[in-house]
Amino acid sequence: MAGTGVFAEIIDGEVYKYYADGEWKKSASGKSVSIINPTTRTPQYMVQACTQEEVNKVMDAAKAAQKLWARTPLWKRAEFLHKAAAILKEHKNPIAECLVKEIAKPAKDAVTEVVRSGDLVSYTAEDGVRILGEGKLLVSDSFPGNERSKYCLSSKVPLGVVLAIPPFNYPVNLAVSKIAPALIAGNALVLKPPTQGAVAALHMIHCFHLAGFPKGLISCVTGKGSEIGDFLTMHPGVNCISFTGGDTGIAISKKAGMIPLQMELGGKDACIVLEDADLDLVAANIVKGGYSYSGQRCTAVKVVLIMESVADAAVEKVKAKMAKLSIGPPEENCDITPVVSESSANFIEGLVMDAKQKGATFCQEYRREGNLIWPLLLDHVRPDMRIAWEEPFGPVLPVIRIGSAEEGVHHCNASNFGLQGCVFTRDINKAMMISDAMETGTVQINSAPARGPDHFPFQGLKDSGIGSQGITNSINMMTKIKSTVINLPSPSYTMG
């Protein structure tokens, strides 16, 4: 169970501690933050409300620990990460339990997230040894006008202290996707977990603690965004920020200053369906892509742009598959579980009511009980409806009928988002042309949008983010180039 056994030291009474300088601590504030169970809508856990002074201490400890860690041999850093990965996977069940209770993730998917996270950490260790173990040699006489008198040796070195801020929907996996690259690259890591998902993240951090990482190198601070949010992101001790979430990231990027930023800020992922598409494949991917984890994924299908001539047939196939989705609590491994909060459910309902008022066709009756929203497909959606452009982050999917592929691409590119998209067609030439035209970080051909496998590049354009994720890209992003130039005397004679 969560907070017991090897995890007993991370909780004090009913309040989970924060992690700093290699120890689990209670905040001097004496305050805590409640975490509401999305299913029961009652308090489930409590975490420490850390103070700004405690953040300062964390940053000082991180800076000191990072200097020593950067001198730790690369193979040794990898050993620590492999050990953490093994411990994480060993304790997958109590961490998954937290995911079920904090964010209403279906139980089987919660276990999968933890196991996937362990695999990500191990892969990062291996990839980091390869990437960071290589340097580069340049010689001066390759540039016109120069003799062979200078040798430049360059290698990748750590940035310093990385601040990692993952989102509620993958608080373990999207945390380790930042933690592992930062650590293998020689950085220190400060984690600010989301409120919903904080306890799962604290359990995950304890796995790194059990792996024996040096004190101060890894920290995890919890608390109210109003108290420590801006203080963390604008802290002079932070040398890099990796953030996944919503438009809060735009505000962070404006305040952060001259440090590297890795931002993934959501999407309105379009699914373009052409006349020659395999409609059974289309329906399966729309349901999987649009409704998995109740649509609470940045890479969920958010709008279907389908050719009018095949729309009726495709919609019927989607409706048939939707009818088979199970709806209920995450403990029962239901396909559709409650969305993360009441405010989220209210926002989704607002989009639905706007579409109803403006004449969208409801393929199912709209139904909501608390935070649980039944899956809904909205047909004949028009561009003047909010749902055509806004990201619901819930189990509601709009269908816009189009007359040409160009019309679909135009709608996709008119969005302020540009994370992922997909196109369904049997014609690879059309698929490639549409992919080239879509202003998104990734285009999937004949499959729903997805993040992963975790070593694939993952990036967004426009308001969907800056920088690129994926294991290799994250390692590179969390390092900088250091060059040393050897200057030789100008040759006065020729040897030999």
* Residue 329 amino acid letter: P
**Cβ-Cβ contacts under 8 Å for 107 (sequence gap 6 or more):** 96, 100, 330, 331, 332, 333
Task: Label the pairing between strands 23-25 and 32-36.
Answer: unpaired
Among 264, 308, 365, 390, the active-site one is: 264
Task: Label the pairing between strands 465-466 and 261-264.
Answer: antiparallel
Helix (H, G, I), strand (E, B) or coil at 270: strand
- Rounded to an integer, what distance in angstroms lies between the CA atom of residue 339 and that of residue 59? 34
The label of the residue with tokens 């970080």 reads 441
CB 46 within 8 A of CB 15: yes
Q: What is the DSSP string of 315-335?
A: HHHHHHHHTT--BS-GGGT-S
In degrees, rounded to 5, the angle at the alpha carbon of residue 298 between the alpha carbons of residues 292 and 303 is 75
**Cβ-Cβ contacts under 8 Å for 494 (sequence gap 6 or more):** none
- Rounded to an integer, what distance in angstroms lies between the CA atom of residue 436 and that of residue 95? 41
**Cβ-Cβ contacts under 8 Å for 473 (sequence gap 6 or more):** 457, 458, 459, 467
Please name every residue paired with 84 in a beta bridge, in sequence order, or none if there are none: none
- Rounded to an integer, what distance in angstroms lies between the CA atom of residue 403 and that of residue 396? 23
- 10-15 long-range contacts (CB < 8 A, ≥24 apart) are 10/202, 10/203, 10/206, 14/46, 15/46, 15/47, 15/48
Q: Is 264 marked active-site?
A: yes
- Rounded to an integer, what distance in angstroms lies between the CA atom of residue 54 and that of residue 317? 55
* Residue 296 amino acid letter: Q
CB 407 within 8 A of CB 303: no
- Rounded to an integer, what distance in angstroms lies between the CA atom of residue 193 and that of residue 203? 11
Q: What is the DSSP string of 367-423?
A: -EETTEE--EEEES--TTSGGGTS---SSEEEEEEESSHHHHHHHHHHSS--SEEEE
Active site residues: 264
